[in-house]
């Protein structure tokens, strides 16, 4: 800005660092024992913390780590970690895993030839050596406000909030797009573009019903719970869930706000949540709460995701519950059985470091193209069938029905005698209806 310029100065840009001085605290935590032989002002800063420690000799990696401010900060970190307990690391590791999954999804979408791996809250980014201009990626990241020191591990801390994580993903997305567009990572992979499609007749029916409100949409939720016994590799399971979503186009669909069509994303974010292990309630009690919450949580058909994974651990019993919930507009009962079977295969492949032996899936966009168009002859047939609509069926009711129906429901279980079941089957066949309908009325119409 020149002298006499009245324009306001631009606000300073915030640089979010993913690498830095964390090793000071980490080195202290993992490499040192408390000592009475720390010279100078350390005793004055740390006080009783060192007076109670065993005698020994401490070696420093550099002069700055024994600065009173560094020692005081380390002591504060140790006290905070101790007071927070193991849940601090568990929550931080889970957030890091979700961040790494989102970044890897960005890489996959743009065809970036690498994959980030993490251990706890540490993760590492490295490009293959044959990409000679890959170092430019770090400069593009700094331009987006994210600092990563090339060749050094990255980390998350409890100070990074959700806004920081969103900014990190956006920066990776922007830098990946620029590198790919410039041809510095080769050509984008096949299938990395969005696909468009038209809703099938069944999907249109569900879409219109879901527009009645959140309760109506939640009535179409499909949910299943897996009971997992024994040691569980959470990272492998998370990656297997990601592989499952990437494998099936239907799970990556986003519907147009008007319901006129849908878009298949080349890579979709994974909704995989690990619930913190609580001590106040039993596993079954917490499971019931999650199932009730999932049943009342509507899916966003426009922005997604349309499938959610929730992992509920009980580390004391070495047992986990995996709750999978999907919207019926992209998943039905038969589909859920397929997803469960394939999830097991994909998880085993992740654990063994192999490729899952699964057949090539059919693209849903192709299926919709074949079955989504209304056939003229079918339309003509049904218009003829209902040229004269039948009179409303007056069925006996147990109570007056309200003007607006609700979507409250429950599961009732009971048994009927074998002889009654046989009579129901014969009655159903004689009247041309399925036995489940007949059974409902045989049991009182419930």
Give the pLDDT confidence score for residue 378 in this predicted structure. 82
Distance CA 31, CA 12 (A): 37
Please count the helices (runs of H) and the strands (runs of E) in the chain. Answer: 16, 12
**The pLDDT of residue 439:** 60
Residue 189's pLDDT is 59
Q: Identify the pLDDT of residue 58.
A: 56
Q: What does the alpha-carbon distance between residue 118 and residue 154 come to, in Å, rounded to a whole number? A: 9
* Residues constituting the chain: 446
**pLDDT value at position 37?**
38
pLDDT value of residue 59: 55
DSSP assignment of 189-217: PTT-S-EEE---HHHHHHHHHHTT-HHHH
Which tokens hold the place of 301? 């058909």
Contact 207, 301 (CB under 8 A): yes
Instruction: Output the tens digit of pLDDT for each of the chain's 446 residues.
Output: 344 445 455 555 556 676 654 443 333 333 333 333 333 444 444 444 455 444 455 555 566 667 788 888 888 988 998 998 888 888 898 899 889 988 988 888 787 889 898 888 999 999 988 888 999 999 999 999 999 999 999 999 888 998 999 999 999 999 999 998 888 887 655 556 789 999 998 999 999 999 999 999 999 999 999 999 988 888 889 889 999 999 999 999 999 999 889 999 988 888 888 887 555 578 888 898 999 999 999 999 999 899 999 999 886 778 899 999 999 999 998 899 999 999 999 999 999 989 999 999 988 999 888 876 667 888 889 899 989 988 888 888 888 878 887 888 777 788 888 888 888 888 888 877 766 655 655 555 44
Domain boundaries, the chain: 16-84, 87-181, 195-371, 412-446
Helix (H, G, I), strand (E, B) or coil at 255: strand
* Side-chain half-sphere CA neighbours of 138 within 13 A: 16
8 A C-beta contact, residue 75 and residue 47: no
87-181: which CATH topology?
Answer: 3.90.1150
pLDDT at 13: 53
**Residue 40, CA distances (Å) to 28, 36, 207, 387 in order:** 18, 11, 72, 97
Q: For residues 345-361, b (16+ Cβ closer than 10 Å) or e, as one string?
A: ebbebbeeeeebeeeee
Long-range contacts of 111-114 (CB under 8 A, 24+ apart): 111/180, 111/185, 111/186, 111/187, 111/188, 111/189, 111/192, 112/176, 112/179, 112/180, 112/185, 113/185, 113/186
d(CA 344, CA 386): 47
Burial letters 217-232, b for 16+ CB under 10 A, else e: bbbbbbeebeebeeeb
Q: CB neighbours of 444 closer than 8 A, spacing ≥ 6? A: none
CATH of domain 195-371: 3.30.559.10
- Looking at residue 6, what is its pLDDT? 52
Give the predicted TM-score (pTM) of the model: 0.65
CA distances to 199, 377, 411, 419, 420 from 416, in Å:
41, 44, 16, 8, 7
Q: Give yes or no for a contact between 107 and 171, defined as CB atoms under 8 angstroms apart.
A: no
Burial class (CB in 10 A: 0-12, 13-18, 19+), 326: buried
Is 131 in contact with 185 (CB distance < 8 Å)? yes
In angstroms, the CA 65 to CA 172 distance is 32
């Amino acid at each position: 800005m020149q002298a006499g310029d009245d324009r306001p100065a631009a606000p300073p840009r915030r640089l979010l660092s993913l690498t830095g001085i964390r090793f000071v605290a980490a080195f202290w935590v993992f490499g040192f024992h408390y000592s009475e032989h720390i010279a100078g002002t350390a005793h004055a800063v740390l006080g009783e913390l060192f007076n109670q420690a065993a005698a020994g000799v401490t070696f420093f990696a550099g002069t700055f780590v024994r600065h009173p401010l560094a020692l005081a900060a380390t002591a504060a970190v140790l006290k905070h970690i101790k007071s927070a307990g193991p849940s601090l690391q568990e929550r931080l590791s889970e957030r890091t895993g979700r961040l790494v999954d989102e970044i890897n999804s960005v890489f996959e979408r743009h065809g970036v030839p690498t994959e980030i791996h993490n251990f706890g809250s540490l993760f590492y980014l490295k490009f293959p050596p044959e990409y000679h201009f890959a170092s430019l990626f770090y400069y593009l990241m700094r331009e987006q406000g994210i600092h990563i020191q090339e060749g050094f591990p990255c980390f998350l801390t409890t100070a990074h909030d959700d806004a920081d994580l969103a900014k990190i993903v956006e920066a990776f997305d922007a830098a990946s797009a620029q590198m790919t567009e410039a041809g510095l990572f080769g050509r984008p992979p096949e299938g990395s573009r969005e696909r468009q499609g038209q809703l099938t007749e069944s999907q249109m029916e569900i879409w219109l019903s879901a527009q009645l409100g959140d309760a109506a949409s939640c009535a179409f939720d499909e949910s299943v719970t897996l009971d997992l016994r024994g040691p569980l590799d959470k990272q492998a399971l998370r990656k297997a869930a990601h592989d499952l979503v990437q494998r099936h186009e239907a799970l990556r669909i986003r519907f147009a706000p008007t319901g006129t069509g849908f878009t298949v994303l080349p890579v979709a974010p994974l909704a995989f949540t690990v619930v913190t292990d609580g001590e106040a309630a039993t596993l079954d009690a917490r499971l019931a709460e999650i199932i009730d919450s999932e049943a009342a949580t509507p899916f966003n058909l426009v922005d997604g995701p349309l499938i959610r994974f929730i992992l509920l651990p009980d580390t004391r019993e070495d047992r986990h519950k995996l709750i999978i919930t999907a919207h019926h507009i992209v998943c039905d009962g038969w589909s859920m059985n397929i997803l469960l079977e394939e999830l097991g295969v994909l998880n085993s492949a992740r654990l063994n470091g192999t490729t899952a032996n699964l057949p090539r899936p059919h693209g849903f966009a192709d299926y919709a193209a074949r079955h989504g168009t209304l056939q003229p002859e079918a339309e003509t047939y049904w218009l003829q069938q209902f040229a004269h609509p039948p009179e409303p069926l007056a069925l006996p009711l147990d109570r007056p029905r309200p003007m607006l129906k609700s979507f409250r429901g429950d599961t009732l279980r009971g048994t009927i005698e074998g002889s009654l079941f046989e009579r129901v089957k014969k009655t159903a066949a004689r009247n041309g209806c399925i036995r489940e309908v007949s059974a409902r009325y045989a049991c009182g119409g419930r």
